[in-house]
Structure 1
Amino acid sequence: MKLKFTLLTILFSSFCFAQNYNVAMQVSKSDLEHTSYSKDSTANALVIYDYGNSFVDEETFWLRFQLEQKIKILRKEGIERGEVEVKLYKGKSSKEKILKIRGATYNLENGKTVKTELTQDAIFEEENENYTLVKFVLPNVKVGSVITYSYETQSRFMSKYQPWYFQGPDPVLYSEYNTSIPGNYEYNIKLVGSIPLEVNETSLKKNCIDLRGDVGADCAIAKYVMKNIPAYKPEGFTTTPLNYIARIEYELSVIRGFDGSVDKLTKTWADVDKELKSNKDFGRQISKKSLAKNILPDDITSMPDNLEKAKAIHQFVLDNYKWNQKYERHEVSVKNTVKEKIGNAFEINLLLENLLSSEGFKVFPILVSTRGNGFATKIYPVLTDFNYLILKTTIDGKDYFLDATEPYLSFGELPFRALNQYGRLMDLEDGSYWEDIEIKDYSTRLHTIQINSFEEDIFGGVIESKSTGYQAHDLKRMYTENSQTYKEQRADKYTEISIEEHNVSDLEKNSYDFEEEIHFTLEPEFIGNKIYLNPFIIKFFEENPFKLQERTYPIDFGYKDTYTYIMNIDLGDDLNILEIPGSVNYALPNKSGTFLFNVENKDNQLTLYFKVKFDKAIYAPEFYDYLKTFMDTVVETQNNTVIVLEKI
């Protein structure tokens, strides 16, 4: 019986490839003479050649993976690339093994190429319950070296078909991955990241597996190549790197036996919905009146207004049940959570779902993957991708996302960890579907400064600060947990002023706002009779957070926000204006963000207005250079704006 293979097509595009290194395993003198990489002057090392080959051995039917790599060491921090680790998985009846470890270090000494080979005593193994960790250390590695190494692993675990990482912490000139997969196995193949493939070739090899006579299989042959791959360098305002690092992954979907049997491992969402509906850890704990019986007090159940009742139920859960900081989806028990007053995220939010449902609200659980866990796969169901649960309900025609794990969230807010673009809404009656998780409201931070006195060469005034939404969460938490420490931290941070009095408005943990008032004095800089004042006594951004030469992954703030700073100076009869800065009006492409700055004098009142607005929660990598310049302008304005006044 000849078996065929189905391969998921991956789209690709071509781009130019140019470099001055020898893209092969052979080390040339020019490889050693080069001291930098023009496309990334900050690179610690450069992967010149990266080659992988995975195939099934015809005799043993083991999966064999062969790797070859050649790396140039450019900086001292890159020397650690000479220490290589390979993790070998252990199963119940078999374990992976490694063979043919080879390695060498090449250096240029007195104009000649000197090769030092890896020795057997530089190869080590560490054992634990699940893995064998194989380490080998290449000799004589230093700045300027070129190292090469290769090895082969063998595995019986076809469900763990070798993924391939084109991208890593160093730039890569050339990365090639070859695969040969027998028709006995069908995989869902996923290309991750935004970098296109230079080569994406597939073909069919007849009779690649021939066990006996007419029993065998054809093989799907594939070759994938990327060139000139930038390093993945972590920077703020993102989710887990696994969302964006360029790679190919394999999920085993079908096993076809030589006896004609077929085992389908990947299911449809319709299959998953059916299973989850009867699942003891999920479907059987949704909308169960018995779980919500006699929990809510009468003053909540008797409330006539739907929205106010929903808010009261949400607050009731926050006040009476504590999240244990765990996410597990297994062994979920709402009943135990009610009894113990503590539970994981699934239990707490399923309790909220039951209480809302018992009062007539239509509530849908949404399975999500947190920002640190990576995106859930949309191509096919993978329940292990989901590690969190939120809720959605509609009240008086308006949709609300709900979560009851965090006491500092207001009704309708989700914890920041859950802002990961989308989730799977589980409608167990009509079928599940993907739900976008988008925060429409802006989170804001506003400082209004009124300088209303100038006595004995010292300014006096009041700062009124207001933060909303996600800008308020941490402030509420820090102040509630230790108000004295919070005030001390504010005094340490606001070094330009002396705080005379610091008050916080009546604070409720789950209010949408956080407001505070600071009475201060400020001693300005005098040169002669002139006062030089930087009006930004509070800075939103101490420095530009965007520093990379190139960023290949999105800038993900999680939510839209604005930063506003207004200062009013009453000049009175004591001060006169000599110099004020010019205005700034700066916009990101497609009106996706703005920066406004203006200073004007009217009726002896000097007014400064500064506003930064981000109109998108997520910006594509193509916006990076624009954002970088944008933030340079913002930080420059904060740090170097000077108003010159004259003491009359």
Structure 2
Amino acid sequence: MKKQYFFLLFITSFLFSFSQTDDKLYNYRVNLSELKMKTYEKDSTANALVLYEYGNSYVEKQNFNLVTEEKHKIKILNREGFKNATITIYLYNTKNRSEKVKDIVATTYNQTNGKVIKTKLNDKDIFREKYDDNRTLVKFTLPNIKEGSVITYSYKLISPFMFNYKSWSFQSDIPKLYSEYRASIPGNWEYNIKLVGTQKLFIDESVVKKNCLSANGGYSHCSYSTYAMKDIPAFIKEDYMTSKFNYLARIEYELKTFKGFDGRINNYTKSWKTVDKEFKTDKDIGRQLSKSVNLEEFLSNNIINEVDNYKKADAIYKYVQENYTWNGEYRIFKDVSVKDLIKNKSGNVSSINILLHNLLKEANIETKPVLVSTRNNGFPTKIYPVITDFNYLIVQVIIDNKTYLLDATDRYLSFGEIPFRCLNSYGRLMDFKKGSEWIDINPKELSTIQYRLNLNLDENANITGKISSKTTGYHALNKRKKYFQNSDSYITNLEDKFPNTEIVNHDVVKGGKTNPQFIESYDVEYSFDETGENIYLNPFFIKFFSENPFKLQERTYPIDFGYKDSFFYVLKLNFGDEYTLLEKPKDLNLTLPNNTGSIIFSSIVENNYLQILFKINFKDSMYLPEYYPYLKGFMSKIVDIQTNSLVLLKKK
């Protein structure tokens, strides 16, 4: 009897929903109404619109290549949308194998004098270029593009890399009417399937078809899945967000297991227990972390003999900061060499922080490495280990039951502070004895900005006085970098913020290169332009937010500040006996839902003095999208308050 192999596909799919879409509504054919379209009613700001796109991936029966057929139809609404007529296809390659693209067909449709004109892409206008060691680009631009054009293009992508099953992006930076993806996966390949983003599927169907693939007398069944979305909004980047790839609606595949017709089984997705073991013995990182160092070759006896563990750890941290320079490369799993770092005094992130780790460990400070994915790199997958999700390494130390995260690549970081690029919610603590675990990477302390202004208005309508400023946390880090890199430029930039103002006697009261606080003071002399006898004065000589950063109608991804922060502004203005204040500013108290933020604005007028207090608190570092309309209104109110104008009337 013929031996038979049956393989069931593991797939994290949804329940059946919706029937297949009506081809009359969404298809690849170009019609007259599409050519006549002037704007997209659901997004009047759109420069282009995907009318239809379709992808179909399947495995060739002869050589087991992964084939993906794609079709795209796009409406160019205006000149700003012309860039969508340039198409780039990325092909992955190794030394022995490479992806290929063939059957590229592209056409531009225009309506001229009531006639439809078709212009086809010539093969000579398709170009190839090397992008990097593992990627080649195939590029072409549709011909005869005009405002109102509709373009179509299709091609076939052939890949020998079944470990990298074709992902599909339903969302992009322009809106889409309809996007459909079909995937046929033989049971030999078992994938973890991840749907990313907040957009809902319009079609989500899966069926199993028998005997779809055979070899060596065996065969397997296939899972045929259809996924589709419609009326997909454009993804628009805005301030205070991490990588857009955390939120773009798409479907991704991670190979879990391959089962051959000969009975062999290869596991690709591993447990963290297995990854921990491999990581410990990895030649680049694991072995480097396990190497011992002679403290006397690096540190003074004063540091080595220090009995206070916090002071000792801080001194070791500062030693690495000051003596080794980051070369700007992450290279977390490649070219990691503490030996070369020591020799060249320069190296990548991993080399610098592994040296820091080894020195701390040798000094009997409890320390462990932490794998991180930076904000621009996206969130690492938590469901199963994907070691390539990480691109950065920092160090955790525990001193007197208190935990600190360290990164010695930046000479301006204070002890326990890591770069803003690392504030990406969580990381993986690599404990080779107890096993790795996820830890939160969120600064516990507030970052603050405080200004105190004590000013006087004289009889000649000049304002003089003193401004004192105190910043902490990441606000202080930014100030320290600017000041200590070029103090003259720093003061010049201060003056640029104050039109018609001269700054004198600038003094940094507190704030070494790594001090967690930066305190400064300076005298100001402000002269008004001629405005008649009365004075129109904005009491906010310093603005925390000059405009509202939130401008979208709706935001579907979190608002991620990276850290909690607070802003404080106090003005005491003596307007003297020559003037009287026409109207006192109105007080205001405002809070965000669940008391996650607040605004306090108050003013007092007494004995020729105006005192203003303005305080803003953001009590969370990250806000869910539901908070967006409240934050938008919150920021709008902050901007409004800072545009208050006072009218000082000249006494008769």
Sort the TM-score into its range (normalised by shorter chain): over 0.9
Amino acid at match of 1:70: K
The answer to whether residue 509 in structure 2 is matched with residue 505 in structure 1 is: yes
Counterpart selection for 1:295 from 298, 311, 333: 298
Q: Which residue of 1 aligns with 2:552?
A: 548
Conservation of the 8 A alpha-carbon contact between 2:293 and 2:358:
no
CA contact 1:68–1:149 (8 Å) conserved in 2: yes
TM-aligned CA deviation for residue 433 of structure 1? 0.7
In structure 2, the residue matched to 1:117 is: 120
Evaluate the alpha carbon distance shift between residue 388 and residue 410 of structure 1 in structure 2; reply closer, same or farther with a 3 A threshold: same
Aligned ranges for residues 488-527 of structure 1 at < 5 Å? 488-524=492-528, 527=531
CA shift for structure 1 position 59? 2.9
1:50 is aligned to 2:53: yes
Distance 1:422 1:405 in 2: 20
- Are positions 1:159 and 2:159 aligned together? no
2:421 match: secondary structure: helix
User: Aligned partners of 1:510, 1:590: CA distance in 2, in Å?
Assistant: 35
Q: Does 1:326 align with 2:329?
A: yes
Aligned-partner SS, 1:232? coil
2:227 is aligned to 224
Deviation at 1:305, TM superposition (A): 2.4
Q: Is contact 2:17–2:204 with CA below 8 Å preserved after alignment?
A: no
Query: Against the structure 1 CA distance between its residues 549 and 74, is the aligned structure 2 distance closer, same or farther, given a 3 Å change threshold?
Result: farther
In structure 2, distance between residues paired with 1:442 and 1:137: 50
Structure 2 counterparts to residues 183-198 of structure 1, below 5 A: 183-198=187-202
Instruction: State the SS of the aligned residue for 2:359.
Output: helix
Query: Which residue of structure 2 aligns with residue 477 of structure 1?
Result: 481
Preserved contact between residue 346 and residue 388 of structure 1 (Cα < 8 Å): yes
Q: Which residue of 2 aligns with 1:533?
A: 537
Query: What 5-or-longer segments of structure 2 have no aligned partner?
Result: none
State the alpha-carbon separation in 1 of the partners of residues 234 and 491 from structure 2. 42
**1:437 alignment partner, one of 438, 441, 463:** 441
Q: Give deviations 1:130-185, integer Å, cap 9, x for gaps.
A: 44433333232211122222111122221221110111110111111100011121
Q: Which digits, 9 at most, give the CA deviation of each residue in 1:274-298, with x for residues without a partner?
A: 1122223333333644354543222
Give the aligned partner of residue 65 of structure 1: 68
Picking from 413, 421, 424, the partner of 1:409 is: 413
Query: How far does residue 118 in structure 1 lie from its aligned partner after superposition?
Result: 3.4
1:528, distance to aligned residue in structure 2 (A): 4.5
Change (3 A) 1:268 1:199: same
Residue 12 (structure 1) shift: 8.2
Code of the residue aligned with 1:561 in structure 2: it is D
Task: After superposing the two structures, state which structure 1 stretch, 268-277 or 357-366, moved more.
Answer: 357-366
Q: Measured at CA, do residues 137 and 551 of structure 1 come closer, stay the same or move farther in structure 2, by a change above 3 Å?
A: same
Query: In the TM superposition, what whole-angstrom CA distance separates every residue of 1:303-342 from its partner, at most 9, and x where no partner exists?
Result: 2322222222222222223222222233423344344433
CA contact (8 A) 2:459 2:578 kept: no
Post-superposition offset of 1:226: 1.5
Q: Do 2:16 and 2:206's aligned partners in 1 also have CA atoms closer than 8 Å?
A: no
How big is each residue's C-alpha offset from its partner over 1:185-225, in whole Å with a ceiling of 9 and x where there is no partner? 1122222222232222222110011346x422111111111
Partner-residue secondary structure (3-state), 1:505: strand
Tell me, what secondary structure is at the counterpart of 2:396? strand
Does residue 168 (structure 1) correspond to residue 165 (structure 2)? The answer is no
Distance 1:413 1:130, change over 3 A: closer
Of residues 250, 255, 258, the one that matches 1:252 is 255
Picking from 2, 6, 22, the partner of 1:3 is 6
Q: Is the 8 A contact 1:445 1:564 kept in 2?
A: yes
User: Which residue number in structure 2 is paired with residue 374 of structure 1?
Assistant: 378
> Aligned-residue CA RMSD in angstroms?
2.6
Letter of the aligned partner of 1:36 in structure 2?
T
How far is 1:529 from its partner?
Answer: 3.5
Match of residue 44, structure 2, among 34, 41, 62: 41
Aligned to 2:309: 306
Aligned: 1:612 with 2:611? no
Q: Give the superposition deviation at 1:559.
A: 0.6
Q: Percent identity?
A: 47
Match of 1:579 in 2: 583
Cα deviation, 1:326-381, whole Å, max 9, x if unaligned, reads 22233423344344433322222222222222222211211111112221121221
Distance in structure 2 (CA, Å) of the matches to 1:7 and 1:386: 26
- State whether residues 496 and 537 of structure 1, in contact with CA within 8 Å, keep that contact through their aligned partners in structure 2: no
- What amino acid is the match of 1:437? I
Moved more, 560-569 or 328-337: 328-337
- AA matched with 1:616: D
Asked if the contact 1:5/1:183 (under 8 Å) is kept, the reply is: yes
| Letter of the 2:230 counterpart | K
CA drift at 1:412: 0.8
Structure 1 residue identity aligned to 2:373: S
Contact 1:13 1:197 in 2 (8 A): no
Cα deviation for residue 117 of structure 1 reads: 3.4
Report if the CA contact (8 A) 1:89-1:132 is conserved.
Answer: yes
Q: Which SS does the other structure have where 2:350 is aligned?
A: helix
**1:67 aligns to what SS in structure 2?**
strand
Classify 1:264/1:293 alpha carbon distance in 2 versus 1 (closer, same or farther; 3 Å).
Answer: farther
CA contact (8 A) 2:295 2:363 kept: no
Deviation string 1:55-110 (CA, Å, 9 cap, x unpaired) is 01223322110111111111211122222222233333333222322232222333
Determine which of 631, 641, 649 is the counterpart of 1:627: 631
1:493 is aligned with what amino acid? Answer: K
In structure 2, the residue corresponding to 1:158 is in which secondary structure? coil
Q: Quote the offset at 1:10 in angstroms.
A: 4.3
Q: Which amino acid aligns with 2:636?
A: D
Contact 1:40 1:549 in 2 (8 A): no
Q: Output the amino acid matched with 1:31.
A: E
TM-score relative to the length of structure 2? 0.93
Deviation of 1:514 (Å): 1.3
Q: How many residues matched?
A: 646
Once the two structures are TM-superposed, the CA of residue 637 in structure 1 deviates from its matched residue by: 1.9
> Partner of 1:145 in structure 2?
149
Q: Deviations over 1:227-255 (max 9, x none)?
A: 22111122222222222211112222222
Question: What letter matches 1:227 in structure 2?
Answer: K
- Which piece of structure 1 moves more, 429-438 or 242-251? 242-251
Deviation sequence 1:102-132 (CA, Å, 0-9, x none) = 2322223334444333344443344576444
Corresponding residue for 1:134?
Answer: 138
C-alpha distance in structure 2 between counterparts of 1:195 and 1:30, whole Å: 27
Indicate how the Cα distance of structure 1 residues 38 and 55 shifts in structure 2: closer, same or farther if over 3 A, else same.
same
Query: Equivalent residue for 2:461?
Result: 457
The letter of the residue matching 1:98 is V
Q: Which string of whole-angstrom CA distances, capped at 9 and with x for unpartnered residues, describes residues 38-69 of structure 1?
A: 22211111111111100012233221101111
Q: Secondary structure at the match of 1:286?
A: helix
In 2, the alpha carbon distance for the partners of 1:85 and 1:366 equals 36
User: TM-score w.r.t. structure 1 length?
Assistant: 0.94
Does the 8 Å CA contact 2:94/2:134 hold for their aligned counterparts? yes
1:437-482 per-position Cα deviation (integer Å, ceiling 9, x unaligned): 1112111111111113524221111111111110111221111111
> 2 CA distance for matches of 1:103 and 1:349?
50
Match of 1:343 in 2: 347
Judged with a 3 Å threshold, the aligned counterparts in structure 2 of structure 1 residues 290 and 134 are, in CA distance, closer, same or farther, namely closer
Equivalent residue, structure 1, for 2:31: 28
Q: Provide the C-alpha distance between the structure 1 equivalents of 2:106 and 2:406, rounded to a whole number of angstroms.
A: 55
Aligned-pair CA distance for 1:527: 4.9
Amino acid paired to 2:454 = Q
